[in-house]
Amino acid sequence: MGSKTPLYDNHVEAGARIVDFGGWDMPLHYGSQKEEHHAVRRNAGVFDVSHMTVVDLSGERVRDFLQYLVANDVAKLKEYGKALYTCMLNPEGGVIDDLIIYFVADTEYRLVVNAATREKDLAWIRKQAEAFSVRVVERAELAMIAVQGPKARELAAPCVAGEYRDSALALKPFNGMFAGDWFVARTGYTGEDGWEIVLPAAEAPGVWDRLLAAGVQPCGLGARDTLRLEAAMNLYGSDMDETISPLEAGLNWTVAWEPTDRDFIGRAAIEKQRESTDRRRFVGLLLEDKGVLRNHQKIVVDGVGEGEITSGGFSPTIGRSIALARVPAGDYDQAQVEVRGKLLNVRIVKTPFVRNGQVRIDV
Amino acid sequence: MSELPGDLLYTNDHEWLRRESDGSVTLGITDHATSALGDLVYVELPEVGQDIDAGGEMAVVESVKAASDVYAPVAGSVVAVNEDLSDDPEKINADPYGDGWIVRMKIGDFDESELMSPDAYQQLLDELDD
C-alpha cells in the first residue's frame, strides 16, 4: 500500500480506479478518462494533486538563493503572489526537477515540486540552502486541489471564504494569493483556465464534495496526462530528466540568460550547449496515419537521423494521436515513427496542440 | 460487474469465443478487459485470409492508457474482421459481446476443455477481485 492523500476516501467513494504513482495511491480515472478530459475542456474538472510537494523557503537571502538554485530568474517576480515556472539544474545542465515558485514576501517564497522527485529535491534544496542560511520547510500537512476548465473559477468561487472571494476571482493568470489558511493561484497543468488551491488537509474532503455537488467532474491522473500533453506541457521523467538540459526539452523560454553575471547552477554547461548547432530539437508531432504514438517509440527522419517520442498518446480533443519528441537537428517537418515494426507518417507541428478549448494546429 | 453471457467460452487473457452455426468462431474481449484498459481509441485488425496460430497475435487494442495484444485462443484463418471498429473503437467498451466483436475465424477441431465456461470464468473474476 502506498501513501494516501487526504482525499483518498473521496476517490474511492467516487468510484476511482486507484493506481500507484510514485508511491502514492492515486485515482487513474473514475470511469471514463475521455469524459473527464472533455469535462475540463468544456466545463470544469477537479484533480487531487495533494501528492505534490509544497516547500516554503524563508530568510534574508532567499532571493539570492533562488537566483543561484534555478535557471529562471526570480527577479522577474515584482509583485507578491506572482508565479514563475522554472527548472533546477545539476552542474552538467541536466534537469533535477521542474517547479513553480510563488513570490510570497521579500523574505519568503513557496515552491511546488513533483511528487516522485520529492526526496532528491528536498535533499538538493537543503544542501544548496545552507550557504544562504535559508530555512526550508516541507508542508506535508497541506492538501492541494486543482480545479480546471472554462467554468472552474466560477464553480469553485463559492468554496473560497467570502472576504477573499472577489480578490481570488480577480487574480490574473500565473498569480496567486493567500486567502486565510488557503493559497489560491490561477495556475494549472491542463491548458485551461482555473485555480490550484493549497489548503489544510482537514478541509480538503469538504471542498472536494462541494465541487462535485456543484457539477465539477472528478478527474484522475489519466486525464491529467492527456490534457497536459495537448497543452504541450512537459512531464518530468518523460520529457526531461537529469541527463537532458532544458534546451533539449523545449524549455529555453524558462532560462533567464540575462543578467549575464547571474551564476546559477548548470549555467556554464547549458551556455556551451546554447552555442552548439547540432542541438536536438524538441517538437510536437501529429500522427497522419492511423494508430497511437507512445513514449519511447523511435522516430526516423530520412537522411537526417533518429529521435524518440518522450510523451505520446491519443488526443481526445483532436481525435488523433499526438506526441512530444526529441529529434535530430535540421530543417524538416515530416518524419516517420516505428510502431510494431511499421513506419507511420508524422508531421511536425507548432505546439500547443490545444489551448483554452481550441485546437491550435492544422489537422 | 455485468452478467457474463452464458453462450460464450472464455480465456485466462479475458477473451471470449462464440461458436457460430456455420462452424466458424467469433472472438472478442470481455467486459473485464475493457474496463481494465479504459476508453479504447484504436484497434489494429488482422487481414482477412490471414492464418493465426493458437496463442498468436490476433489484434492490438489501444486505449488512452496503453496498447495491448489480443491473442487467438485457437488456431484458424480470419474470415471477417469488424471494420466498424476502425472508426469507432469504443464499440468494444460499449458492447464487448455484441457490436464490439473483433474477429471471425474458421477453425479446425479444438479441445473446448482448454477454454473456460461462464461459471469458471466468473470464478476467475471473483478471485481477481479479492
Give B54's DSSP letter: T
- All 3 cell numbers of residue A235? 512531464
Beta bridge partners of A97: A88
Mean predicted confidence (pLDDT) in B29-50:
95
Residues A291, B62: C-beta atoms closer than 8 Å: yes
Q: Which of residues 298-357 of A touch B (CB under 8 A)?
A: 313-314, 316, 321, 340
- Number of neighbours of residue A144 by Cβ within 10 angstroms: 24
**Which chain A residues are within 8 Å of B39, Cβ to Cβ?**
32-34
In this complex, is the C-beta atom of B64 within 8 Å of any C-beta atom belonging to chain A? yes
The mean of the pLDDT values for chain A is: 97
Model confidence band, residue B109 (pLDDT cutoffs 50, 70, 90): confident
User: How far apart are alpha carbons A204 and A198 in whole angstroms?
Assistant: 9
Nearest CA to A316 out of A215, A228, A234, A235 is that of A228
Residues B42, A292: C-beta atoms closer than 8 Å: yes
User: How far apart are alpha carbons A155 and A175 in whole angstroms?
Assistant: 19
Q: What is the pLDDT of residue A205?
A: 98
Mean predicted confidence (pLDDT) in A207-228:
98
Nearest CA to A156 out of A193, A191, A181 is that of A193
Residues B62, A314: C-beta atoms closer than 8 Å: yes
In this complex, is the C-beta atom of A290 within 8 Å of any C-beta atom belonging to chain B? yes
User: How far apart are alpha carbons A335 and A44 in whole angstroms?
Assistant: 36
Q: Cα–Cα–Cα angle for A283, A286, A291, nearest 5°?
A: 130
Nearest CA to A337 out of A305, A295, A293 is that of A293
In this complex, is the C-beta atom of B67 within 8 Å of any C-beta atom belonging to chain A? yes
Torsion-angle region of A174 (φ positive above 0: left; ψ -120 to 50: alpha; else: beta)? left
Å from B89 to nearest chain A CA? 11
Per cent of chain A over pLDDT 90 is 99
Å from B18 to nearest chain A CA? 28
Model confidence band, residue B2 (pLDDT cutoffs 50, 70, 90): low
pLDDT at A234 over 60: yes
**pTM of the predicted protein model:** 0.94
pLDDT at B110 over 90: no
Cβ A110 vs Cβ A102: under 8 Å: yes
- All 3 cell numbers of residue A21? 504513482
Model confidence band, residue B111 (pLDDT cutoffs 50, 70, 90): confident
Residues B64, A314: C-beta atoms closer than 8 Å: yes
User: How far apart are alpha carbons B112 and B115 in whole angstroms?
Assistant: 6
Residues B64, A226: C-beta atoms closer than 8 Å: yes
**Which chain A residues are within 8 Å of B86, Cβ to Cβ?**
290
Q: Which of B60, B62, B65 sits opposite A222 (nearest CB)?
A: B65
Q: Which of residues 165-224 of A touch B (CB under 8 A)?
A: 222
Q: Which of residues 76-105 of B touch A (CB under 8 A)?
A: 86
Provide the CA A37 distance to its chain's centre, in angstroms: 16
Full set of structural domains in chain B with CATH = 13-110 (2.40.50.100)
Q: Which of B34, B47, B64, B92 to probe the A interface (max A CBs under 10 A)?
A: B64
Q: Which of A32, A222, A292 sits opposite B62 (nearest CB)?
A: A292
Q: Cα–Cα–Cα angle for A188, A191, A194, nearest 5°?
A: 45
Q: Which amino acid is at A319?
A: G
pLDDT at B113 over 90: no
Q: What is the pLDDT of residue A219?
A: 98
Per cent of chain B over pLDDT 90 is 86
Q: Which of A19, A34, A224, A296 to probe the B interface (max B CBs under 10 A)?
A: A34
Å from B120 to nearest chain A CA? 25
Task: Map residue A263 onto helix, strand or coil.
Answer: coil
Mean predicted confidence (pLDDT) in B29-46:
95
Mean predicted confidence (pLDDT) in B14-39:
94
Model confidence band, residue B65 (pLDDT cutoffs 50, 70, 90): confident
Residues B64, A222: C-beta atoms closer than 8 Å: yes
pLDDT at B130 over 70: no
Q: Mean pLDDT check: name the lowest of A13-22, A36-45, B51-60, B121-130.
A: B121-130
In this complex, is the C-beta atom of A29 within 8 Å of any C-beta atom belonging to chain B? yes
Q: What is the pLDDT of residue B74?
A: 93
Residues B42, A291: C-beta atoms closer than 8 Å: yes
pLDDT at A48 over 70: yes
In this complex, is the C-beta atom of B44 within 8 Å of any C-beta atom belonging to chain A? yes
pLDDT in tens, A89-109: 999 999 999 999 999 999 999
In this complex, is the C-beta atom of B114 within 8 Å of any C-beta atom belonging to chain A? no
Residues B67, A294: C-beta atoms closer than 8 Å: yes
Q: What is the pLDDT of residue A356?
A: 97
Q: What is the pLDDT of residue B8?
A: 96
pLDDT in tens, A125-176: 999 999 999 999 999 999 999 999 999 999 999 999 999 999 999 999 999 9
